[in-house]
A and B are shown apart, each in its own frame.
Chain A
């Protein structure tokens, strides 16, 4: 069964720390992987999309990497701020999934002032 796993489920860190969120997927045959942010009661905001041919993508303080061989992606957040508090979800578009995204359950991140 194709699965995407996010560890940890929740994370609380002091403001200013650099942190890493993890996403693992069961199949290395992947089209792309996308990271999203979700604030309580809101929709999902796309943060970064990494295509299969790419190793990483950067946007501001965010950097996402993709390692197909190990089935892992990481989202690195530099110099965390209280405004970064949200749930972060990753979703993988695997080649054997009929073009349907496989979703992780998310990591709930709290940045303490």
Chain B
């Protein structure tokens, strides 16, 4: 079974702090994604990556950056956390861009005070 592991299930940070959310997948998937999920707004794509060291902006990249130094790891970085970044963050991976099944991690619930 594919396993996507997010490093933290719950985080509480203060405004202005730098936040790292880590995601690791164990199935040699090419593609990795970061979404945020908010009530009434659904899932929104923040960033995605189709290969090591590659990244592409999704629908809402402002305030976020990402890093993919190794194929299995995709990190989401909040350079200076703000209260409007309080959300559920979901990492996902897939093998193929146009036919691949998407697998998600358990999610990271971030609260910014």
List residues of chain A with CB under 8 Å of any chain B CB: 31-32, 34, 36, 41-46, 49, 51, 89, 91, 93, 99-101, 103-106
Q: Are B107 and A42 in contact (CB-based, < 8 A)?
A: yes
Interface string of B54-94 (1 = CB under 8 A from A): 00001000000000000000000000000000001010100
Residues of B within 8 A of A42 (CB): 106-107
- Do most interface residues of chain B lie in helix, strand or loop, or is the interface mixed? strand
Q: Are A41 and B58 in contact (CB-based, < 8 A)?
A: no
**A89–B42 alpha-carbon span in the complex (Å):** 10
- Per the CB 8 Å criterion, the residue count for chain B at the interface is 21
List residues of chain B with CB under 8 Å of any chain A CB: 4, 6, 42-43, 45, 48, 58, 88, 90, 92, 97-99, 101-107, 109
Given A105-B42, A106-B42, also A45-B104 (CB < 8 A): yes
Q: Are A99 and B42 in contact (CB-based, < 8 A)?
A: no
Q: Are A31 and B107 in contact (CB-based, < 8 A)?
A: no
Which one of B6, B88, B104, B109 has the highest number of Cβ atoms from chain A below 10 Å of its Cβ? B104
Q: List the B residue with the shortest CB-CB distance to A44.
A: B104
Residue from A49, A100, A103 in contact with B101 in the complex, judged by beta carbons closer than 8 Å? A49
Beyond contacts A31-B99, A43-B90, A43-B105: 18 other A-B pairs, Cβ-Cβ < 8 A, are A34-B102, A41-B88, A41-B107, A42-B106, A43-B104, A43-B106, A43-B107, A45-B104, A46-B102, A46-B104, A51-B99, A89-B43, A93-B98, A99-B97, A99-B98, A104-B42, A105-B42, A106-B42
Q: Are B102 and A91 in contact (CB-based, < 8 A)?
A: yes
**A93–B31 alpha-carbon span in the complex (Å):** 14
